[in-house]
């Protein structure tokens, strides 16, 4: 069949599907009227266990259909929706600034973006007109109080917004442009295909703000190179989930893809390939700007002193040579050479210039002491300093690096290893400790916050660890406040991060592996502490997964199901 | 600080080092299962370079150091003067020409070296007529490939052997960093160890668009798989648009307009497969796994009862009604007309008796038939009827192992697919072949089950003939299948999840029994993964590293 004919056939199919969709959504709205929630597409029994080849099933096909109902993910703090519905049409709907509102490129571009996102739900519905007597909304009016030109999100930024959908129109109010971005995302999610396939949304009043200010996703671009295109796609997905930190674990043992201005040889010799597997300064700027426009901070990680093998290809003297019976190998950065600190000073100066965020991640994890133990130079230094164990040398190193970062006017984040037991006092109070070990993470959170240090949690959110079946509930149930501690300690928890380490992930499988699993974490970090109803979450997550797929993110399925649009 | 004093004593130092070395090894062993973001035993990732290694490994392969270049304008595939000619081979010429010369989605003229001889032609010789033929279980896939400048030759009995040979040829070709296309002087004499080398896709739990089914057929051809086991319908949905019973998909598909395979789609898939030497074996699984049939075929499923009243639920085909068998006759007749393969998969797995037991009419029927309370006799009755119908419409059948486990008498040419691991795979394989029946294995190849890390080794180590039995029994093992059940898989993640893990299965089923070196296989797997990526498939990475040609 010729492509044109096939296209036509699809259009015919679409017209039919419209009828089905209308019935489907109509049913959905009725449910909404009755209970305020929509039952999870009939998935009333748990999804089959891994021990069975097939899912057990006694019901009909309908139970697998994901329905559009305009439910929001992550769940807003306060939302009241009524049965009153309004419709939108592409030709007559506009995003506008309210009188007196601040204006800036961030919002201008967001208006364009969300117009596309909202009105590309399905080709068939775009041609539908709002008729005179239907309740047609023609404007969303944004009011932003703080100036926003050229702004970047930071840890203290306000993301709170108020969104009111009434007959008079849609009003979105926020102190900062970041609140407005979150509100636009929410608005776009409220819209579903309603009666007659029209873009429909219910009368709604939302006041929303995040529970935690640091909501991150870590990507590792060293174990596999991830082309810029996929990093940008992932930033889109993050915005769809109100994540606001891209923790860029940019270099590590396997490769050094960051093309440094001060030390170009690092990527020339340390990248997988110096031409194709590098992030040029232009690439980095592209990513930073793309993230900024979506209210996402980019926190770069230059992990030292361990995890630096790839640095040694260009700078062998940076690394300590270690000896075993079978030969020698390269260990961590040499902590007893002044040259190491001079080099790090220069590199961090560049990091400061290139990455605008206040926070720099310094790593500091998994230093191999075995190498130091065998080394005369190290031993001598230890004796001179009066250090009686190696963690003290590690502390010495990281303290000096943190000082460099301080002198540059930035703050440091480090992995929990740096705040080892007995060493918690060794880092400045404004250091952020990232807790990553899955075992006893709660104890670690308590220990770190007891010393007045701020912390972010990843221990229960290592999404590179996969298993068979629907695994998001375990991520969803993990709460960063679930440790024994005072209110003051809890307040030191800035948030958390979903980590997708790169051993088995590259551009071929990154997005489906991360999404929608990371969405569970997005809700835990944004929504109120008591948002714990798994049934309700399952329904909304099902819709949200399909929403991401429709927006072009290949988010993998959660369970046997079908999305309410042409399969992609 | 305990080691410091010793540091000044060279002897003690050595002892210490040794102790520490042992300790580090232990530490590595102990720590490595903890998948932290570190690889404790760190090894520098090496670029996976194209070196012309073939996966699955050919039965006999001799590569010499002498190398030739290929030029895009100068190279051509030709038929030998006495060769049969057909569309299958014509189209394969075009396909493989592109696969050899296309890098990153564009045809890139290679650099040609003046110092090397040029291979300008590969001449193909097909002995058997091949116009319009379909592959079958009995097809010959043998081929002999000789690469020598200026003209190589590829000789095969059938077009299928030519396809396998062209795949091998395309894999022998590699591109150097400086842009030359190289092939070494090589002779290959190759044939598959097993005749049935399959991939199962499940299009009921999630609908899979034709685009991905075709991508998967491409991947299968790159790995010399030759059976697409299409588990086309099941409980969740019925996406097959039947001519005889259009209501089945109208009422049983996820969406009757968007989530279905039309007759035209099915023809498209069958033809795409045929051109790649892949059989399409459809599975219409009954009597269980049929929930999605109920809406479109009223009366087909058994009404379940609570006490003396129907409870509104239905389960499994109703084995006591003649209409059930009439339906199945009509459907199987259609399947015979639509799917050219001699085999149809009839399923027959995982039948629960609860609903049948609850139904008073079934109870009466059991009495009448003298089955007592042995419901497996009722299942046998159903299956026996279906097998007979299938035979009567002129098809052979494959069934899941339960059919045999439950003692149903099957025809001698039945193929039994073993999927359970309980009590044990060898026991079941011995049992099936002990009854003189042919077997295919999939128990150890359920690729829908995923785990953290590099897991292809366990698929690679599984051997279908690894059971106690006579040579005659071993000969009854005709192959195996990698299964990708659809609970958690659709177009978004299918290709990445299946490949290159299924490549391990491909080699086990094609290559010689003694091809078992994991070290050798690792090199081939790496190159094959990168080759698939270069050819446009989202085959996922096996470990940290990168490919010579990897993304656009």
For A201-236, how does the pLDDT look when each residue is reduced to its tens digit (9 = 90+)?
Answer: 999 999 999 999 999 999 999 999 999 999 999 999
Compare all CA atoms of chain B with the CA of A563 and give the residue at the minimum distance: B254
Q: Which of A36-40, A336-340, A367-371, A476-480 has the lowest mean pLDDT?
A: A36-40
Q: Are strands B438-441 and B477-484 parallel, antiparallel or unpaired?
A: parallel
Average pLDDT over every residue of B180-192: 96
SS3 B84: coil
Q: Does B193 touch chain A (CB under 8 A)?
A: no
Q: Of A355, A455, A363, whose CA–CA distance to A408 is shortest?
A: A355
- What average pLDDT score do residues B320-338 get? 98
Number of domains within chain B: 1
Contact: A225, B209; criterion CB under 8 Å: no
pLDDT above 70 for B506: yes
Least confident piece of the model among B1-10, B315-324, B372-381? B1-10
Pair type for strands A161-166 and A169-174:
antiparallel
Catalytic residue of the set A116, A366, A377, A383: A366
* CA–centroid distance for B303 within its chain: 37
Query: Smallest Cβ distance to B492: which of A224, A438, A549?
Result: A549
pLDDT of residue A123: 52
- Closest CA of chain B from A312, distance in Å: 12
What whole-number distance in Å separates Cα of residue A79 and Cα of residue A560?
Answer: 30
Of A373, A502, A513, the CB nearest to B20: A373
CB distance B402 to B392 below 8 Å: no
A21-50 per-position pLDDT tens digit: 333 333 332 222 222 222 222 222 322 222
Q: Look at B21 and A326 and tell me if their CB atoms are within 8 Å.
A: yes
Which pLDDT tens digit goes with each residue over B511-522?
999 999 999 999
Residue A208: its pLDDT value, please? 98
Q: Per the CB < 8 Å rule, is A567 touching B541?
A: no
- Whether the pLDDT of residue B33 is over 50: the answer is no
Q: Residue B256 and residue A61: Cβ atoms within 8 Å?
A: no
Q: Tell me how far apart the alpha carbons of residues A18 and A21 are, in angstroms, rounded to a whole number.
A: 5
A219 φ/ψ angles, rounded to the nearest 5 degrees: -115, 145
Is B416:B398 a contact under the CB 8 Å cutoff?
yes
* A250 contacts A502 by C-beta, under 8 angstroms: no
Please, are residues A138 and A93 in contact by the beta-carbon 8 Å criterion?
yes
**Per-residue pLDDT reduced to its tens digit, A403-462:** 999 999 999 999 999 988 888 788 999 999 999 999 999 999 999 999 999 999 999 999
Residue of A nearest to B446 (CA): A53
The pLDDT score that the predictor gives to residue A424 is 78
Q: How far apart are CA A463 and CA A472, in angstroms?
A: 10
Cβ contacts of B38 on chain A, cutoff 8 Å: 306-307, 365-366
Best of B16, B209, B236 to substitute, by most chain A Cβ atoms within 10 angstroms, is B236
Question: For residue A20, is pLDDT > 70?
Answer: no
Can you say whether the dihedral through the CA atoms of B461, B462, B464, B466 is positive or negative? Answer: positive
Measured between CA atoms, the residue of chain A closest to residue B489 is A557
- Both tokens assigned to B334: 């259609």
Catalytic positions of B are 350
Cβ distance B315 to A58 less than 8 Å, yes or no, reads: yes
Give the model's confidence band at A368: pLDDT under 50 very low, under 70 low, under 90 confident, else very high: confident
Q: pLDDT tens digits, residue range B106-115? A: 777 777 777 8
Q: B542 to chain A: nearest residue by CA?
A: A504
Task: Judge whether B151 lies within some domain.
Answer: yes
**Contact in structure between B467 and A530 (CB atoms under 8 Å):** no
Residue B350 CA: distances (Å) to CA of A100, B78, B305, B402: 68, 51, 20, 7
Nearest to B355 by CA among B384, B319, B327, B391: B319
Does the distance separating the beta carbons of B42 and A365 come in below 8 Å?
no
Cross-chain Cβ contact A20/B24 below 8 Å:
no
| Secondary structure class of A165 (helix, strand, coil) | strand
Distance separating alpha carbons of residues A354 and A371, to the nearest angstrom = 33
Total beta-carbon pairs less than 8 A apart between chain A and chain B = 229
Quick one: pLDDT at residue A38? 26
Which pLDDT value is given to residue A132? 64
Judged against a pLDDT cut of 50, whether residue A2 lies above it is answered with no
Is B59 among the domain residues? yes
CB B417 within 8 A of CB B401: yes
Residue B275 φ/ψ, nearest 5 degrees: -65, -15
Mean pLDDT of B315-334: 98
Residues in A touching B3 (Cβ below 8 Å): 373, 379
Is B547 a domain residue? no
pTM attached to this predicted model: 0.90
Nearest to A566 among B47, B237, B258 (CB): B258
Residue of chain A nearest B304, judged by CA positions: A58
- φ, ψ of residue B260 in degrees (nearest 5): -145, 160
3-class state of residue A53 by DSSP? coil
Residue contact B540–A1, C-beta within 8 A: no
Interface of B with A in 281-310 (CB under 8 A): 289, 291-292, 294-295
What own/partner pairs with CB < 8 Å and gap ≥ 24 does A414-417 have? A414/A361, A414/A362, A414/A363, A414/A364, A414/A365, A415/A303, A415/A363, A415/A364, A415/A365, A415/A366, A416/A365, A416/A444, A416/A448, A417/A364, A417/A365, A417/A366, A417/A367
- Highest mean pLDDT among A51-60, A317-326, B368-377 belongs to B368-377
* Cβ contacts of A437 on chain B, cutoff 8 Å: 36
Q: Judging by beta carbons within 10 Å of its beta carbon (0-12, 13-18, 19+), is residue A286 exposed, middle or buried? A: middle
> Is B266 part of the contact surface with chain A (CB cutoff 8 Å)?
no
Dist. CA A442–CA A370, nearest whole Å = 28
**What's the farthest any 2 CA atoms get from each other in chain B?**
94
CA distance A297 to A159: 13
pLDDT at A133: 64
Residue with tokens 């269980």: B288
* Structural domain includes residue B413: no
**Closest residue to A16, CB basis, from B257, B264, B492:** B257
Q: Rounded to whole angstroms, how far apart are CA atoms A88 and A198? A: 7
Give the mean pLDDT of chain A: 88
* B487·A55 Cβ contact <8 A: yes
Contacts A227 to B, Cβ<8 Å? 551
Contact B171, B52 (CB under 8 A): yes
Confidence band, pLDDT 50/70/90 cuts, at residue B13 = very low
Q: What is the dihedral of CA B243, B248, B253, B258, to 10 degrees?
A: 30
- For β-strands B181-190 and B60-69, DSSP reports them as antiparallel
* Partners of residue B546 in chain A, C-beta under 8 Å: 224-225, 255, 272-273, 277, 506
pLDDT at B275 over 50: yes
| Contact partners, residue B234, CB within 8 Å, separation at least 6 | A54, B202, B204, B205, B285, B289, B292
Contacts of A224 in chain B (CB under 8 A): 541, 544-546
pLDDT in tens, A482-514: 999 999 999 999 999 999 999 999 999 999 999
Considering only CB atoms, which chain B residues are within 8 Å of A507?
A: 551
Q: Which residue of B has its CA nearest to A501?
A: B37
Distant-in-sequence, close-in-space partners of B164: CB < 8 Å, separation ≥ 6: B141, B143, B156, B190, B192, B224, B277
Annotate A417-458 with DSSP letters as a single string.
GGG-TT-GGGS-TTPEEEE--STTHHHHHHHHHHTT-EEEE-
Residue B6 within any structural domain of the chain: no
pLDDT of residue B551: 72
Judged against a pLDDT cut of 70, whether residue A390 lies above it is answered with: yes
Q: What pLDDT, on the 0 to 100 scale, is given for residue A426?
A: 86
Q: Which of A77, A80, A116, A81 is nearest to A95 (CA)?
A: A116
User: Does residue B538 fall inside a structural domain?
Assistant: no
Query: What end-to-end distance do the CA atoms of chain A give, in Å?
Result: 20
On the question of pLDDT at B475 being above 80, the answer is yes
CA-only gyration radius of chain B, Å? 27
Contact A43, A558 (CB under 8 A): no
From A80, A74, A92, select the one nearest A199 (Cα to Cα): A92
Distance CA B203, CA B249 (A): 13
Percent with pLDDT over 70 in chain A: 87
Mutation target to probe the A interface, by most A beta carbons within 10 A, among B10, B354, B418, B487 is: B487
Which residues from A are below 8 Å from B27, CB to CB? 370
pLDDT grade for A122, boundaries at 50, 70 and 90: low
Residues of B in contact with A273 (CB under 8 A): 47, 546
Indicate whether B112 belongs to any domain: yes
Whether B36 has its CB under 8 Å from any CB of chain A: the answer is yes
Segment (H or E) for B482: strand B477-484
Nearest to A538, CA basis, from A561, A508, A568, A554:
A561
How far apart CA A346 and CA A330 sit, in angstroms, is 22
* pLDDT of A339 higher than 60: yes
Structure-token pair, residue B93 = 């010429």
Rounded to the nearest angstrom, the minimum Cα separation between B38 and chain A is 7
Are B490 and A388 in contact (CB < 8 Å)?
no
d(CA B445, CA B199): 10
- Chain A residue with Cα closest to B295: A60
pLDDT at A91: 85
* Interior angle at CA A247, CA A179 and CA A237, nearest 5: 55
Q: Give the pLDDT mean for A355-365.
A: 97
DSSP three-state, residue B215: helix
Q: Quote the CA–CA distance of B319 and B327 in Å, as a whole number.
A: 12
CATH code of residue B169:
3.30.379.10
CB atoms within 10 A of CB A522: 27
**Contact present, A279 and A258 (Cβ < 8 Å):** yes
- Give the closest residue to B445 by CA, choosing from B476, B406, B418: B418
CB < 8 Å to B491, chain A: 554, 567-568
Mean pLDDT across the stretch B242-265?
97
DSSP B110: P
Contact A14 B538 (CB under 8 A): no
Contact A415, A365 (CB under 8 A): yes
pLDDT tens readout for residues A281-336: 999 999 999 999 999 999 999 999 999 999 999 999 999 988 877 788 888 999 99
What value does the mean pLDDT take over residues B273-294? Answer: 97
Stretch 206-265 of chain B: residues touching chain A, C-beta under 8 Å: 206-209, 234-238, 251-259, 264
B544 has a chain A CB within 8 A of its CB: yes
Asked whether the predicted pLDDT for residue B34 surpasses 60, the reply is no
Is pLDDT of B258 > 60?
A: yes
Among candidates B24, B295, B538 on the partner chain, residue whose Cβ is nearest the Cβ of A60: B295
Asked if residue B140 is part of any domain, the answer here is yes
Domain that holds residue B57: 50-190
Rounded to 10°, the helix B159-172/B210-222 angle is 80
Cβ contacts (< 8 Å) between B32 and chain A: which residues? none
Mean pLDDT of B272-294: 97
Whether residue A302 contacts residue A251, with contact meaning beta carbons closer than 8 Å, is answered with yes
Q: Which two tokens stand for residue B480?
A: 């195996």
In B443-517, alpha helices (H): 456-461, 471-475, 494-498, 501-510
Q: What pLDDT score was predicted for residue A128?
A: 59
Q: Of the candidates A323, A508, A549, which has its C-beta nearest B538's C-beta?
A: A508
To the nearest whole angstrom, how far is the Cα of A55 from the nearest Cα of chain B?
Answer: 8
The CA-atom distances, in angstroms, between A89 and each of A86, A94, A121, A184, A206 are 10, 9, 12, 17, 22
Nearest to A523 by CA among A155, A178, A71: A71
- Let me know: does B5 contact B15? Beta carbons within 8 Å: no
């Amino acid at each position: 069949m010729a492509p044109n004919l096939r296209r036509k056939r699809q259009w015919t199919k679409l017209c039919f599907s419209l009828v089905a969709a209308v019935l489907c959504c109509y049913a959905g709205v009725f449910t909404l009227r009755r209970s305020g929630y929509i039952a999870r597409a009939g998935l009333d029994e748990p999804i089959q266990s891994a021990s069975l080849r097939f899912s057990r099933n006694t019901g009909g096909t309908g139970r697998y259909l994901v329905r559009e109902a305009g439910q929001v993910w992550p769940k807003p703090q306060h939302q009241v929706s009524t049965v009153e519905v309004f419709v939108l049409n592409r030709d007559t709907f506009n995003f506008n600034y309210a009188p007196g509102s601040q204006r800036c490129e961030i919002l201008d571009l967001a208006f364009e973006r969300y117009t596309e996102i909202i009105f590309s739900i399905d080709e068939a519905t775009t041609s539908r007109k709002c008729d005179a007597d239907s309740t047609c909304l023609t404007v969303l009016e944004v009011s932003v109080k703080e100036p926003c030109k050229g702004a970047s999100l930071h840890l203290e930024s306000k993301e709170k917004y108020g969104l009111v959908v009434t007959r008079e129109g849609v009003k979105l109010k926020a102190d900062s442009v970041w609140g407005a971005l979150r509100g636009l995302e929410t608005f776009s999610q409220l819209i579903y295909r309603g009666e007659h396939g029209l873009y429909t949304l219910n009368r709604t009043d939302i006041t929303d703000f995040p529970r935690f200010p640091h909501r991150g996703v870590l990507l590792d671009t060293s174990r596999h190179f991830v082309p810029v295109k996929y990093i940008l796609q992932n930033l889109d997905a993050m915005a769809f989930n109100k994540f606001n930190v891209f923790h860029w674990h940019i270099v590590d043992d396997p490769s050094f893809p960051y093309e440094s201005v001060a030390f170009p040889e690092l990527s020339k010799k340390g990248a997988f390939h110096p031409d194709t597997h590098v992030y040029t300064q232009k690439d980095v700027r592209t990513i930073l700007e793309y993230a900024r426009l979506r209210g996402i901070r980019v926190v770069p990680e230059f992990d030292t002193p361990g995890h630096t093998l790839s640095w040694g290809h260009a700078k062998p003297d940076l690394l300590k040579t270690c000896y075993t019976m079978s030969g020698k190998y390269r260990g961590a950065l040499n902590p007893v050479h002044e040259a190491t600190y001079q080099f790090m000073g220069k590199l961090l100066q560049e990091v400061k210039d290139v990455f605008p965020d206040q926070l720099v991640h310094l790593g500091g994890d998994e230093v191999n002491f075995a190498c130091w133990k065998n080394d005369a130079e190290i031993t001598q230094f230890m004796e001179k300093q009066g250090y009686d164990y190696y963690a003290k040398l590690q502390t010495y190193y990281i303290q000096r690096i943190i000082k460099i970062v301080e002198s540059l006017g930035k703050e440091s984040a480090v992995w929990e290893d740096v705040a080892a037991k007995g060493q918690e006092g060794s880092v400045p109070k404004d250091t952020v400790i990232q807790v990553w070990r899955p075992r006893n993470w709660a104890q670690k959170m308590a220990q770190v916050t007891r010393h007045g240090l701020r912390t972010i949690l990843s221990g229960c959110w290592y999404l590179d660890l996969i298993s068979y079946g629907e695994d998001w509930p375990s991520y969803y149930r993990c709460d960063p406040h679930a440790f024994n501690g005072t209110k003051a300690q809890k307040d030191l928890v800035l948030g958390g991060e979903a980590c997708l380490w790169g051993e088995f992930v590259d551009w071929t499988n990154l997005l489906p592996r991360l999404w929608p699993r990371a969405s569970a974490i997005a809700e835990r970090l944004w929504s109120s502490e008591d948002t714990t109803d798994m049934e309700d979450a399952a329904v909304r997550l099902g819709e949200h997964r399909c929403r991401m797929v429709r927006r072009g993110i290949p988010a993998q399925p959660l369970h046997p199901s079908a999305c309410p649009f042409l399969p992609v | 600080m305990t080691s410091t004093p010793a540091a000044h004593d060279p002897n003690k130092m050595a002892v210490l080092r040794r102790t520490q070395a042992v300790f580090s090894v232990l530490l590595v062993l102990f720590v490595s299962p903890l998948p932290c973001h570190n690889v404790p035993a760190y090894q520098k990732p090496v670029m996976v370079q194209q070196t012309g290694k073939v996966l699955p490994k050919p039965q006999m392969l001799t590569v010499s150091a002498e190398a030739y270049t290929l030029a895009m304008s100068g190279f051509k595939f030709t038929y030998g003067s006495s060769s049969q000619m057909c569309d299958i081979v014509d189209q394969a010429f075009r396909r493989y020409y592109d696969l050899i010369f296309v890098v990153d989605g564009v045809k890139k003229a290679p650099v040609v070296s003046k110092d090397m001889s040029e291979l300008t032609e590969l001449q193909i010789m097909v002995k058997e007529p091949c116009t319009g033929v379909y592959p079958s279980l009995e097809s010959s896939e043998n081929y002999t490939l000789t690469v020598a400048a200026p003209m190589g030759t590829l000789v095969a009995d059938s077009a299928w052997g030519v396809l396998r040979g062209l795949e091998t040829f395309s894999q022998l070709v590699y591109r150097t960093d400086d842009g030359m296309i190289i092939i070494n002087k090589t002779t290959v004499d190759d044939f598959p160890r097993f005749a049935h080398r399959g991939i199962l896709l499940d299009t009921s739990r999630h609908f899979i668009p034709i685009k991905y089914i075709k991508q998967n057929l491409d991947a299968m051809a790159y790995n010399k798989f030759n059976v697409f086991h299409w588990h086309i319908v099941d409980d969740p949905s019925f996406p097959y648009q039947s001519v005889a019973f259009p209501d089945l998909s109208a009422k049983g598909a996820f969406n009757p307009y968007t989530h279905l395979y039309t007759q035209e789609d099915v023809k498209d898939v069958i033809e795409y497969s045929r051109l790649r030497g892949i059989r399409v074996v459809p599975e219409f699984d009954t009597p269980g796994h049929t929930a999605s049939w109920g809406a479109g075929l009223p009366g087909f499923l058994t009404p379940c009862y609570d006490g003396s009243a129907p409870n509104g639920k239905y389960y499994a085909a109703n084995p006591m009604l003649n209409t059930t068998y009439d339906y199945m006759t009509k459907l199987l007749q259609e399947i015979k007309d639509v799917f050219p393969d001699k085999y149809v998969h009839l399923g027959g797995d995982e039948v629960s008796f609860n609903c049948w037991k609850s139904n008073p009419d079934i109870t009466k029927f059991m009495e009448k038939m003298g089955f007592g309370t042995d419901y497996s006799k009722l299942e046998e009755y159903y299956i026996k009827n279906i097998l007979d119908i299938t035979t009567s419409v002129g098809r052979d059948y494959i069934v899941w192992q339960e059919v045999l486990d439950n003692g149903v008498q099957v025809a001698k040419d039945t193929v039994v697919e073993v999927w359970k691991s309980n009590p044990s795979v060898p026991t079941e394989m011995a049992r099936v072949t002990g009854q003189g029946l042919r077997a295919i294995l999939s128990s150890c190849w359920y690729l829908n089950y995923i785990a953290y890390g590099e897991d292809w080794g366990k698929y690679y180590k599984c051997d279908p003939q690894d059971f106690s039995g006579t040579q005659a029994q071993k000969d009854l093992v005709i192959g195996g299948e990698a299964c990708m059940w659809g609970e958690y898989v659709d177009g978004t993640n299918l290709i990445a999840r299946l490949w290159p893990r299924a490549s391990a299965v491909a080699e086990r089923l094609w290559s010689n029994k003694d091809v078992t070196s994991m070290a050798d296989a690792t090199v081939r797997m790496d190159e094959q993964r990168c080759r698939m990526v270069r050819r446009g498939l989202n085959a996922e990475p096996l470990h940290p590293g990168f490919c010579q040609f990897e993304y656009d």
